[in-house]
Amino acid sequence: MSRNLRAPFPFVSLQTAKLFHDAKPTWGEIFSDFQAAEETLFVENYILEDGIAGKTVIQSLCDASKRGVTVKLHIDGFGSNHLGKNLLSQLEESNVELKIFNNPPSLPIALFKGISRFFRRTHRRIIVVDGHIAWVGGLAFGDPWWPSEDEATTRDTMLRVTGPVAEQVQKSFAQLWSQPSRSLPSKVVVPAEELQVRAIPQHPIRAQHFRKSLYRRMHDSSQRIWLATPYFIPSFRLRRALLHAVRRGVDVRILLPGAKSHDHPAVRIAAHRHYGHLLHFGVKIFEYQPSFMHAKVGLFDNSWTLIGSANLDRLSFFVNHELILESRSQDLAEETRQQFEADFAQSVKISLSQWRNRSLFHRVLERFFGLFDRIL
């Protein structure tokens, strides 16, 4: 791709980066960072709901505020619409600054103002501690992500980083907090060197930086494109990019959820209508079995990763606010590769012959739900 890439943030040095996959150590480290905050603690999440996870998060934020830390909490009005009034009151009493993004209005008001604007959501998962520690990924503040001995915990990925990229994540948080209708200005991005990273804030309609970066990474890959996503509704352009990569000899693999505990079964079935074509041309598809797979990760060759909140569907490409970290680091790429291998080992690899023998009922379902591709 010859055209210069333009985006809000340049590549900066990556000081430390650590991937978290298992629920217990992930939550343990997050709460450790909450407790260590001394000046500021900024948190944004699509989902915050009643339950053990939500209550524990809110209590930790309130404790930080009582210690004198400036705490800001940004949640989505749709994704967090089940948050109870008692927890909201607890935040207010502890002087935690709370903003609810795009709270859904009543249907008559939505119709009067234009219903499409209320589809826009903040789907981001952001934690920034004192401006120098940042978390991004797919973890939600809900009980399906909480460690459990009785039920399978959602399999997700979070990335914890330190260094100047944390300032970029904080600026992304502040922009949506104070000026949600505006996007950050863009500049030409100088190509990355080893051990560099940048934050990619995806603004709906105005600044689709993640989508452009994804295609850039796919176009430039010569050995490997491994993608993990819970929601896979690929556009024609994305399907074409995957197939072009296979023709170049690239090892293209997609890790998707199996049927177990999927929170949107219709989306999973709608994705199936694309399996046959992709499998026929050599894309490898794996369905994760132990639990719901919610990680949003891209691995490209042996150096590049994209990790954050974005799915591979139209909502993340065009509608939602998302936040992704793009890094060039052989160490982080190798850690990501090892986790992919572990996930593949716990997945079912879909074969083309197996897929061609699926039942007529399944074919009818995937065709039916495929009719709603553009809104899933």
pLDDT at 302 over 70: yes
Share of the chain above pLDDT 70, in %: 93
pLDDT at 373 over 80: no
Contact by Cβ (8 Å): 155, 21:
yes
- Give the residue carrying structure tokens 């948190």: 43
Q: What's the CA gap between 141 and 125, in Å, rounded?
A: 9
The overall pTM is greater than 0.85: yes
What count of residues does the chain have? 376
Give the single-character DSSP code of 195.
Answer: T
Give the single-character DSSP code of 232.
Answer: B
Tokens coding 189: 């991005």
Q: What is the pLDDT of residues 133-191, one digit of tens each?
A: 999 999 999 999 999 888 889 999 999 999 999 999 999 999 999 998 888 989 999 99
CA distances from 207 to 186, 199, 200, 203, 298 (A): 9, 13, 10, 5, 20
Confidence at residue 117, expressed as pLDDT on a 0 to 100 scale: 53
Q: What is the pLDDT of residues 40-63, one digit of tens each?
A: 999 999 999 999 999 999 999 999
Bridge partner list, 134? 128, 161
pLDDT at 112 over 70: no
pLDDT at 108 over 60: no
Confidence at residue 247, expressed as pLDDT on a 0 to 100 scale: 97
pLDDT at 115 over 50: no
Task: Out of 3.40.50.2300, 3.90.400.10, 3.40.50.300, 3.30.870.10, select the CATH number for domain 7-184+195-375.
Answer: 3.30.870.10
Confidence at residue 105, expressed as pLDDT on a 0 to 100 scale: 54
Least confident range from 86-90, 111-115, 173-177, 282-286: namely 111-115
The dihedrals phi and psi of 192, each to the nearest 5 degrees, come to -80, 150
Confidence at residue 130, expressed as pLDDT on a 0 to 100 scale: 98
Confidence of residue 375 (pLDDT cuts 50, 70, 90): low
